């Protein structure tokens, strides 16, 4: 399996492929479609060849190009059913998260965003027979249906927005974007105790999955100690 990381302005997304399947994890943001198109051209493929779109969650910076990509490729859209309300732009944000609401409203207007339905709902523990097997890992906190995707052959876990990669250490996304912060410790605990070779997050500079995993373990160990004591 090959991974192409598309480092966007605010958010990264990913193309994964082998000799028979191409999948996209999240859809990118500004210039997202042209980034994807150019990356596919480099491997002599085109947008029409995308087979699956796996979504970590429904925030606008992860789904803004979903409808267009579906129309071009006919790819199967996969996510938890709880994220449909985000994709529809109908989630009722509360308190501090109203800032996120305002940003998404502006973004939907700016991009002339149109919603689309998830084709295939998945939940924690489901196995997708794609690219050698992908296990769905529910990691709620950032949003209620937020998902990670574990690639069983490489033991790489795509962790969405559970934590952000930074130059020196990991950190959480800004509080305005975390709708269920009380669920984050359990999700961190879950990932910390997984047997992985690497993790890959959607925000931050390009770092190897192994390096991200090393940093995550240091971050998570400290964080979980504080939560318990």
> What CA–CA distances, in Å, run from 175 to 70, 146, 159?
31, 15, 17
CA distance 15 to 5: 7
Nearer to Zn ion, 59 or 215 (CB): 59
Mark residues 81-100: x for contact with Zn ion by CB under 5 A, - for none.
--------------------
Contact 161, 13 (CB under 8 A): no
CA distance 162 to 172: 7
Contacting range for Zn ion; rule: CB under 5 A; set: 36-44, 103-111, 157-165, 221-229? 157-165
Nearer to Zn ion, 19 or 90 (CB): 90
Q: How far is the CB of 21 from Zn ion (least distance, A)?
A: 26
Q: How far is the CB of 157 from Zn ion (least distance, A)?
A: 17
Residue 92 neighbours by CB under 8 Å, 6+ apart: none
CA distance 16 to 153: 13
Nearest CA among 91, 212, 222 for reference residue 145: 91
Q: How far is the CB of 134 from Zn ion (least distance, A)?
A: 20
Nearer to Zn ion, 83 or 161 (CB): 161
Nearer to Zn ion, 82 or 161 (CB): 161
Q: How far is the CB of 177 from Zn ion (least distance, A)?
A: 5
Q: How far is the CB of 118 from Zn ion (least distance, A)?
A: 16
Nearer to Zn ion, 73 or 201 (CB): 201
Mark residues 100-139: x for contact with Zn ion by CB under 5 A, - for none.
----------------------------------------
Nearer to Zn ion, 13 or 73 (CB): 13
Task: List the interface residues with Zn ion, window 168-227 (CB under 5 A).
Answer: none
Instruction: Report DSSP letters for 63-104, one per residue.
Output: HTTHHHHHHHH-PEEEE-GGGHHHHTT-----GGGHHHHHHH
Q: Regarding beta strands 22-25 and 12-17, do their DSSP bridges make them parallel or antiparallel, or are they unpaired?
A: antiparallel
> What CA–CA distances, in Å, run from 41 to 80, 159, 178?
30, 27, 36
Task: List the interface residues with Zn ion, window 5-64 (CB under 5 A).
Answer: 59
Contacting range for Zn ion; rule: CB under 5 A; set: 45-53, 111-119, 121-129, 161-169? 161-169
Q: Whose CB is nearest to Zn ion?
A: 59
Residue ranges in contact with Zn ion by CB under 5 A: 59, 161
């Amino acid at each position: 399996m090959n991974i192409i990381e598309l480092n966007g302005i605010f958010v990264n997304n990913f193309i994964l492929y082998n000799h028979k399947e191409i999948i996209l994890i999240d859809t990118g943001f500004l210039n997202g479609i042209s980034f994807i198109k150019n990356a596919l051209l480099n491997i002599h493929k085109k947008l029409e060849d995308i087979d699956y779109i796996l979504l970590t969650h429904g925030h606008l910076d992860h789904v803004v190009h979903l409808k267009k990509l579906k129309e071009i490729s006919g790819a199967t859209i996969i996510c938890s059913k709880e994220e449909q309300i985000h994709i529809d732009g109908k989630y009722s944000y509360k308190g501090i998260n109203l800032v996120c609401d305002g940003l998404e409203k502006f973004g939907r207007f700016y991009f002339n965003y149109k919603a689309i339905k998830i084709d295939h709902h998945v939940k924690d523990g489901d196995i997708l027979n794609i690219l050698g097997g992908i296990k769905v890992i529910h990691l709620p906190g950032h949003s209620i249906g937020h998902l990670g995707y574990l690639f069983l052959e490489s033991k790489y876990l795509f962790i969405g927005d559970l934590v952000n990669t930074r130059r020196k250490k990991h950190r959480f996304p800004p509080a305005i974007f975390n709708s269920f912060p009380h669920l984050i410790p359990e999700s961190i605990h879950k990932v910390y105790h997984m047997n992985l070779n690497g993790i890959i997050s959607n925000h931050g500079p390009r770092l190897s999955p192994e390096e991200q995993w090393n940093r995550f373990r240091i971050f998570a160990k400290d964080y979980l100690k504080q939560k318990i004591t």
